[in-house]
Amino acid sequence: MSPYTQLAYWRSFFHGDGYSHDQIPDLTGKVAIVTGANSGLGYATTVALAAHGARVFLACRSKQRAQEAIVRAKEEIKTKYPKALAPQLEFLELDLGDMNKTQQAAQEFLTQGLPLHILVNNSGIVGGSLELSADGIESEFAVNHMGHFVFTLALLDRIKESQPSRIIIMSSLFHEKATGINYDTIFKTGDIPQPHHQPVYDRYARSKLANVLFARALTRRVINEPHLYVNACHPGYVSTRATQPTPRQEATIFSRCLDGLEESFHSLVAWPVERGVLTQLYLATSPEIESREIRGRYFGPIANEIEPSTYARDEKLQDELWTYSEKLANEKLKA
């Protein structure tokens, strides 16, 4: 963790959060898409946006899970925001691991003729074995970056037409672990697994670096759009399904003790989702984004600007990622 990032964390601990749910303005008339909206931070983002009047599309792979999330969200909004109008929540089928299906999802939204004021690229995967996406690409890079790259660019003209508008790209502190992106080492169909393919958190860190690089590259490409704000953020260590400790398979007293210690540590240090979601909600809703012309920045908890890694700030690396992603997308979308 860089000194600047550490400073931002301590600022939150000692000086309070930089944003709160009470500061979210009225969003009536706004249309939003949240990827990975059926659980965790995506679900919490959806609830907050809808409770303040936005029409929100839950962009998810599973229709059943999205519909269950819509039912939960409506009940939660009714309980927490009794004065709120009936929430407008809709399902948008999105499979970020398949670029053709991702483009189809964007087209499905565009055919409705709606504006798009807020796009929250929230969905992501971490952990698990080395796997390939439907396009034959390492799953972490495919879902966390390429899917969102294709989805965002397919919607970009509509987002431009809908200004003032915002794009929020979720990253992670883990991006600091990646020392650039060696595209030759991204696992693809036909590759024989090598040692450099195996470390799961290396793959995750690379995809999270791609998120910040993409946010900065996109910002430079829409610089002439006066009211389009693109930013990236790290939510902090939040208690979600992805961060829950996994119990060990061995049924020994020692393993159970370790499981208990890990669970206790997680409960002690992990932030509840309702707090962890505030940084992305700040970027999605705060009037400060427009009044202070905040674009191309990187924020950490809670709503504090922090400096991304040296690699993330490198414009050459940003352009290399853009070129690689564009070429790969064109190849797969023609297939």
The residues annotated with a catalytic role in the active site are 204, 208
Helices (H), 18-98: 40-51, 63-80
109-56-221-214 Cα dihedral, nearest 10 degrees: -100
103-135 exposure pattern, b = at least 16 Cβ within 10 A, e = fewer: bebbeebeeeeeebbbbbbbbbbbeeeeebbbb
Q: Which two tokens stand for residue 248?
A: 């060990």
DSSP per-residue codes, 93-158: E--TT-HHHHHHHHHHHHTTT----EEEE------SS--B-TTSBBHHHIIIIIIHHHHHHHHHHH
Is 96:10 a contact under the CB 8 Å cutoff?
A: no
Nearest Cα neighbor of 311 from 140, 171, 141 is 171
Sign for the CA dihedral angle at 49, 50, 55, 59 comes to: positive
DSSP-derived pairing of the beta strands 304-305 and 298-300: antiparallel
Nearest Cα neighbor of 179 from 310, 321, 298, 5 is 310
Question: How far is 234 from 170, CA to CA, in rounded Å?
Answer: 6
Is 282:183 a contact under the CB 8 Å cutoff?
A: no
Is 32:53 a contact under the CB 8 Å cutoff?
A: no
